[in-house]
Structures are given as structure tokens and as C-alpha cells.
Amino acid sequence: MVTIYIIGFVVSLVLALFLTPLVKKFAIKVGAVDVPDARKVHTRIMPRLGGLGIYLAFVLGLIAVLPFIPESLSVRDANFLKAFLIGGSMIVLIGALDDRFQLSAKVKFLAQIVAACVVVFGFNITVDFVNIPFQDSYSMLESWISIPLTIFWIVGVTNAINLIDGLDGLAAGVSAIAIGTILVMSFLMGNTTVALICLLLLGAIIGFLFFNFHPAKIFMGDAGSLFLGFSLAMLSLLGFKQIAIVSFITPLIIIGVPLSDTFFAIIRRKIQKKPIFAPDKGHLHHCLRELGFSHRQTVLVIYGISGFFGVLAVIQSSAAMHEANWVTFVVICIMMFFMQIGAEVIGLVGKTKRPLLGLINRLRVKTNAESRTK
């Protein structure tokens, strides 16, 4: 089985290396290009649709290795693969149409909801439980809770990756790190289906990164960012579904960078009284560029942050397996502290919105004043 994993990874990587240049020519031919504007960092017209290369490499790689898998898939895993492929194809289609015709945010959002509904209602894939923190039990969810929660999760994570797609290689690299984290955890849990999908996706993403890392020759576009977001949402659903020993917080930690960037973007736009879907230049990568980091440095810094979240997720998951629930509490506290401090330092919400740093500064001034009076 290990050989199949390696072959699947290599096949999808080679396919991405071969298909991406062809997709680039196709994107230019049909006019699926990205034109520079005041909000974007690139200065020349760039072909989009690169995500189509990732998608095709993944699908063809999956078709190539499926006949050689020795044991048959369980009914649940086979059902999941069908949902993954059909839902993912719908997401890629709407993303590709947006790359060519610039669809409105509302149309894309509605299409994502439709794809999520196909997964939920067509294949009965839902979040069935929620762990009770710090206890060795979990609560089964009623359908009226699990269905909207699953749809919200799929749509939310799908858009989270799309929002960080602002620099060469950023969304692809962050997605690869998150998928790599799920890969490690799937091996630890013995989930072979998730591991296989992760390796196929990793191969496709790494092959695409040869053309997408700065200076990029092609952008993944919405076809890529939406598909990778959808893939992460689905993998986390299968990877942690019905596994009581894994805390509910684990999937959130794995995709901590895109989710936190999305969260702070919503807060920022609410404070500035702007529509939630209105684009701006206040995302993590924009703020790091303003601090003086180069294009590549900014991407590598965010890779590092993503890797940090990935390590926290593995530590938390391993601790949960061994019923060390206090580790979960520590991980959450560390994560929340660094997220808030980091957001305030680089100005993710706003240059003047720094409550935690302000509190620390006031405590420091008070402590200094008290020491001088003694």
C-alpha cells in the first residue's frame, strides 16, 4: 500500500508539471487573465485558471492508482470519494467561470452553497458529533444542527483559502502545509483514504508551485483557491468524522492561517462599515508587505506561521488520543494569544485597533510608575 501512495504522489506531481503549461496556454487563448489594479501586487497581465491543472492532475492521478489499491474501499469511503469528486468538480467549474467572466460574489457564494448541499443531501456527509471538551465523551448532533453546520463549514473553509490568494505561491503553499498536516494525522489514525487523497493533492500542488512560486508564470485563480479550500473542508470532515478521541478544535488549528485571516477581515470590514465581501488591502500578506518584507519573504513568513499551526494541530491531536486534555487547553491559549498579538502588531484589524497591546502597555507603565514610587 505504501508503494501505491508513493506512485500516486509522483503521478500527480508529473501530471501537474505537464498540464500546467498547457492550462496556461488555454487560459491566454480564452482570455482568462488577471489584469493589474490598485489592490493587486503584480504589474503585468497574468494567465489564471492554474487551479484547473491542479484539479486535472489530482483526478487523473486518482484514476491511475485506484485500480491498484489492494483492498476495496469501505462504503463510507467510496461514498466520500464520489461526493469529493462531484462537489469538487462543481467548485472548479464555478471558479473557472469566474476566472474568465468575473462573476459576482453573490453568484459564487450561491454556487458554493449548492455544491455543499449536493455533498450533504446527495451523499449524506455531515458532522455527526461534537466532542465535549476535557471529557472522554461526545454528543451526537441532531440533523437540524449537523446539516447547516456542515454546509457552513464547507462554504467557510472554501472561501478562507480564496481570501489569502494574494501573492505568488501563497494559497498553494499554505494549502499544501495544511494538507500535509492532515496527511500526518491520517497516518497516525490509520485513515488510508484520507492519506491517499492528501498525497495526490500534495503532488498536484507541488507540481503547480514550480510555475506559481515568485515570480509566478500563472495564477491558480478561483478555480484553484476554491478547489483547495473545498478539499480541505472535505478532508477534515472525513478525517475527523466520528472519531471521539480527536477534539473538535483540531480542524480549526490546521487551517488556522486562512481562517484567522478571514475572521479578522470580517471584523475589519465591520468596523470600517464595508460589505463583508468587499475586497481590500488589509489581509495578512498585505500587512506584511507594508512592514517591509519582500514578496518571497512575506510568503515564506506565512508558510512558517502555517507550519506552526500544523505542529500545534499534531501535538493537540496526539494529546487528545492519549486523553491529555490539558494540552488542548494550552494549545488553544497559545494559539489565541499569538493570533491576537500578531494581528495587532501587523494591523490586521486596523492600525489603531490594538486592545491587547494597549493593555500590556498600560500594565507596563503602571508597573514602572509603582516601582519609581517605592
- Separation between Cα atoms, residue 29 and residue 47, nearest integer Å: 9
Is 222 marked as binding a ligand?
A: yes
Angle between helices 221-240 and 143-163 (to 10 degrees): 140
Indicate the pLDDT class of residue 320, thresholds 50, 70 and 90.
low
Q: What per-residue confidence (pLDDT) applies to 282?
A: 72
Q: For 108-135, what is each residue's pLDDT tens digit? A: 999 999 999 999 999 988 876 555 444 4
Indicate the pLDDT class of residue 351, thresholds 50, 70 and 90.
low
Is 77 marked as binding a ligand?
A: no
Q: What per-residue confidence (pLDDT) applies to 324?
A: 53
| pTM score, whole prediction | 0.84
Q: What per-residue confidence (pLDDT) applies to 349?
A: 65
- Separation between Cα atoms, residue 330 and residue 319, nearest integer Å: 11
Q: For 188-244, what is each residue's pLDDT tens digit? A: 878 888 889 999 999 999 999 999 998 889 999 999 999 999 999 998 876 555 443
Which of 55 and 362 is assigned the larger pLDDT?
55
Which H helix or E strand runs over 111? helix 105-117
- Separation between Cα atoms, residue 167 and residue 149, nearest integer Å: 31
Q: For 56-84, what is each residue's pLDDT tens digit? A: 999 999 999 988 775 656 667 788 889 99
Q: 140: helix, coil or strand?
A: strand
